[in-house]
């Protein structure tokens, strides 16, 4: 049996050795290092509670926003004198612009067909919109409904053709016998020898510019004109 003094000396030596080992590990890892196995003998990797600070990493955040609805500007209608007239209720659908009610309106030279008009009247208005920038050409629109330019009777013939009311172009004098006598509800043709124009859903379709004078080609006008000397006729049913 060992004496107590011998046991104490052995304990001191063992403690010193353990301390030296721990101190060496501490100096290598810059922190306390714990045993690499549990009391049950299960091996573990060495670990330390000391952690080096990590650099912050940027993150990306995705989010959804509701698109902002932008209301279209209200169309502006101007008469021949340049006075601005605002008309609500426009339908800006492609090449078939439309406005509520019984009367057509003009915006930037383009006519908006009234929603209450018959389809034949709407189609006539929309068709004329495709030629309303063409120049005045004497005899234009008579050899074919599709032409580079139009004169007065060629313009009116074009409108009536796309309304389904005329199969071939007519000269102005032939409109004196066209359709029925008097003004129509939707379309009225005013003809005399040498000139013809029409009113369609309240707009004047004419090749003569009364404001500046001269023949300018197919155009929509808000104002009327003196009908003295003209014969009023209208297509049957319109």
Each residue's pLDDT expressed in tens, for the chain with a length of 238 residues? 545 444 455 554 444 444 444 444 444 444 454 454 555 555 555 545 455 555 656 555 454 445 544 444 344 444 333 433 333 344 444 589 999 999 999 999 999 999 999 999 999 999 999 999 999 999 999 999 999 999 999 999 999 999 999 999 999 999 999 999 999 999 999 999 999 999 999 999 999 988 878 899 999 999 889 999 999 999 999 9
Residue 79 is classified by DSSP as -
- What are the CA-CA distances from residue 217 to residues 51, 77, 125, 163 (Å)? 88, 21, 16, 20
Decide if 226 contacts 204 (C-beta within 8 A): no
In angstroms, the CA 59 to CA 231 distance is 81
Quote the pLDDT of residue 22. 42
Residue ranges of the domains in the chain?
Answer: 1-32, 116-234
Residue 198 and residue 209 in contact, taking contact as beta carbons nearer than 8 Å = no
Alpha carbon distance 86, 67 (integer Å) = 29
CATH class of 116-234: alpha beta
What distance in Å separates the CA atoms of residue 115 and residue 104, rounded to the nearest whole number? 9
pLDDT value, residue 233: 97
Helices then strands, each counted (H, E), the chain? 3, 12
Distance of alpha carbon 111 from alpha carbon 233, whole angstroms: 22
Give all strands of the β-sheet with 98-99 in edge-to-edge order.
90-91, 98-99, 110-114, 105-107
pTM: 0.62
Residue 136, both tokens? 């005045």
Q: Half-sphere exposure of 212 toward its Cβ, with a 13 Å CA cutoff?
A: 9
Give the separation between CA 139 and CA 137, rounded to whole angstroms. Answer: 6
- Pairing outcome for strands 231-234 and 215-221: unpaired
> What pLDDT, on a 0 to 100 scale, did the predictor assign at position 46?
55
| Per-residue pLDDT, 211 | 81
Q: What is the pLDDT of residue 39?
A: 52
Residue burial 21-41, b: 16+ Cβ < 10 Å; e: rest: eeeeeeeeeeeebeeeeeeee
Q: How far is the C-alpha of 216 from the C-alpha of 209, rounded, in Å? A: 6
């Amino acid at each position: 049996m060992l004496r107590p003094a011998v046991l104490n000396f052995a304990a001191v030596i063992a403690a010193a050795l353990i301390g030296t080992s721990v101190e060496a590990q501490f100096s290598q890892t810059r922190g306390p290092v714990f045993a690499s196995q549990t009391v049950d003998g299960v091996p573990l990797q060495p670990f330390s509670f000391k952690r080096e600070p990590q650099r912050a990493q940027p993150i990306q955040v995705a989010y959804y926003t509701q698109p902002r609805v932008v209301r279209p500007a209200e169309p502006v209608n101007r008469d021949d004198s340049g006075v601005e007239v605002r008309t609500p209720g426009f339908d800006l659908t492609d090449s078939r612009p439309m406005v509520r009610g019984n009367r057509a309106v003009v915006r930037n030279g383009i006519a908006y067909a009234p929603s209450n008009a018959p389809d034949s009247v709407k189609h006539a208005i929309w068709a004329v919109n495709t030629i309303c920038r063409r120049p005045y050409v004497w005899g234009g629109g008579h050899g074919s409904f599709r032409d580079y330019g139009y004169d007065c009777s060629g313009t009116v013939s074009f409108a009536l053709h796309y309304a389904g009311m005329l199969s071939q172009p007519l000269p102005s004098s032939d409109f004196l016998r066209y359709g029925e006598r008097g003004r129509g509800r939707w379309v009225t043709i005013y003809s005399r020898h040498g000139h013809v124009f029409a009113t369609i859903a309240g707009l004047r379709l004419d090749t003569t510019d009364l404001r500046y004078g001269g023949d300018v080609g197919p155009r929509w006008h808000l104002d009327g004109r003196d009908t003295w000397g003209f014969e009023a006729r209208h297509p049957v049913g319109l």
